[in-house]
């Protein structure tokens, strides 16, 4: 992923609808940065597993974390994983059932997961994660303890290979179907953030921090 023109291998090359595909950092990073939600797929005893989790990117590495006791994290460390991000932008409603589709931005990353072992590095990664979503929040929080760091497993991977797939725009119907009196178009969808809900146990007078005003991803 260092070179934006890296040639895709057999593993990541999109076989279908290659006109939708992109392999370079300039298309893949913005998709990763547009949502923290992701799915990490891994193999245990030859069988596939996939766990929804949160990712954050630092350069050409991507990270996710959880409890040190997590089976998913223990079993995927040191092994190949596939991390996918998919953002739905709309439902594409065509004149034929078969041309119904989705407008989306997705990225599929391949690499070997490794554990972040060093306590200071773990703390720095957690700060990057929290501040990446809510700038300045980390320093407002109760400092992390060494026990918490031990109980937390952070996995990372260098993005060895990646592919993105994006669809935008109106339906693509068969040319002869455009004469049919059928409503076609796109139903756009997006993530909407509602007003923050304060913890009932917040102390009186504690104000909503700036990083929660007009919050958005990326």
Beta carbons of 23 and 164 less than 8 angstroms apart: yes
Stretch that binds a copy of itself, among 1-9, 21-29, 56-64, 101-109 (CB under 8 A): 101-109
> What track of x and - describes contact with a copy of itself for positions 25 through 64 (by CB under 8 A)?
------------x-x-xxx--xxxxxxx-x----------
Please give the order of strands across the beta sheet that includes 56-58.
Answer: 56-58, 61-67, 152-158, 114-115
Stretch that binds a copy of itself, among 1-9, 23-31, 56-64, 100-108 (CB under 8 A): 100-108
Per CB under 8 A, 206 contacts a copy of itself? yes
- In the bound state with a copy of itself, the residue whose beta carbon lies nearer, of 4 and 143, is 143
For 81, phi then psi, to 5°, come to -130, 165
Question: Helix, strand, or coil here: 42?
Answer: strand
How far apart are CB 187 and a copy of itself at their closest, in Å?
5
- In the bound state with a copy of itself, the residue whose beta carbon lies nearer, of 66 and 156, is 66
Interface positions, 164-183, toward a copy of itself (CB under 8 A)? 170-171, 177-183
User: What is the C-alpha separation between 81 and 43, in angstroms, rounded?
Assistant: 8
Alpha carbon 201 to chain centroid, angstroms: 31
Which of 7, 19, 26, 69 touches a copy of itself by CB under 8 A? 69
Alpha carbon 35 to chain centroid, angstroms: 5
User: What is the C-alpha separation between 108 and 86, in angstroms, rounded?
Assistant: 9
Residues 171-200 as b/e (b if ≥16 CB within 10 A, e otherwise) read: bebeeeeeeeeeebebeeeeeeeeeeeeee
Per CB under 8 A, 124 contacts a copy of itself? no
Per CB under 8 A, 146 contacts a copy of itself? no
Which of 21, 55, 64, 106 touches a copy of itself by CB under 8 A? 106
């Amino acid at each position: 992923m260092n070179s934006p023109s890296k040639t895709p291998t057999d593993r990541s090359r999109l076989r279908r609808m290659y006109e939708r595909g992109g392999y370079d950092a300039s298309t893949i990073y913005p998709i990763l940065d547009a949502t923290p939600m992701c799915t990490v797929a891994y193999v245990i005893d030859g069988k596939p597993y996939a766990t929804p989790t949160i990712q954050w990117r630092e350069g050409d590495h991507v990270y996710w974390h959880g409890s040190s006791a997590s089976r998913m994290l223990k079993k995927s460390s040191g092994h190949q994983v596939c991390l996918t991000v998919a953002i739905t932008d709309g439902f594409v409603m065509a004149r034929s059932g078969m041309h119904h589709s989705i407008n989306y931005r997705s990225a599929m990353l391949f690499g070997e997961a490794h554990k972040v072992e060093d306590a200071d590095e773990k703390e720095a990664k957690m700060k990057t994660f929290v501040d990446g979503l809510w700038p300045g929040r980390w320093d407002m929080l109760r400092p992390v303890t060494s026990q918490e760091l031990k109980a937390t497993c952070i996995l990372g991977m260098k993005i060895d290979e990646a592919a993105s797939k994006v669809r935008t725009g109106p339906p693509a119907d068969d040319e002869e179907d455009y004469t049919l009196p059928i409503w076609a178009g796109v139903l756009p969808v997006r993530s909407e953030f509602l007003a923050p809900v304060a913890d009932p146990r917040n102390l009186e007078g504690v104000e909503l921090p700036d990083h929660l005003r007009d919050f958005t991803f990326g």
